[in-house]
Amino acid sequence: MANQRARLLVTAPHRAGGQAQYIDLPVRPERSAGLTRLYEWALLNLHEPLTVDRLAQRAGMSRRTLIRRFNTETGQPPMRWLLEARLSRARELLESTDLTVEGIARRCGLGTPANFRTLFKERVGVPPSVYRDTFHPATTDR
């Protein structure tokens, strides 16, 4: 939350030496070995078509139980958490790589480049290109 507030207050996007600021991460489930493993697995498979049913099957629990546990442990439903994880990964890739919007959308499981741009702008507040121009060291050191 502190990083989000700092960005809203127009804090400098880079530290000395060109190191980018920390990236907001989705809430990690705590005190649950089952959800912790599921969280880690989902983060490694963001490019896959993940659904609540697939996550529930992977966690070895019913769909309803998974939704309830996710809400209890992360404060949000599984698909919202998944979208935040995908957008967090997209921000990381925009900051640290020169991948195209299409490549980032594919790696993060955000669909088409148009869908990625729309979701990114809705959630982050700026288009991916503006975000990259602001936070990518290679583009800010010009």
pTM for this prediction: 0.76
pLDDT at residue 40, rounded to an integer: 93
Q: Taking CA 50 as the corner, what is the angle to CA 49 and CA 55, rounded to the nearest 5 degrees?
A: 155
Q: What are phi and psi of 77, to 5 degrees?
A: -70, 160
- Pick one of 1.10.10.60, 2.40.240.20, 1.50.10.10, 3.30.300.30 as the CATH number of 25-133: 1.10.10.60
Question: Using one digit for the tens of pLDDT, what is the confidence trace for 46-101?
Answer: 999 999 999 999 999 999 999 999 999 888 999 999 999 999 999 999 999 999 99
Instruction: Please state, rounded to an integer, the average pLDDT across all residues of the chain.
Output: 83
Cβ atoms within 10 A of the Cβ of 21, count? 15
- Side chain identity at residue 122, one-letter code: E
Residue ranges of the domains in the chain? 25-133
Task: Give the residue among 106, 86, 95 at the shortest CA–CA distance from 128.
Answer: 95
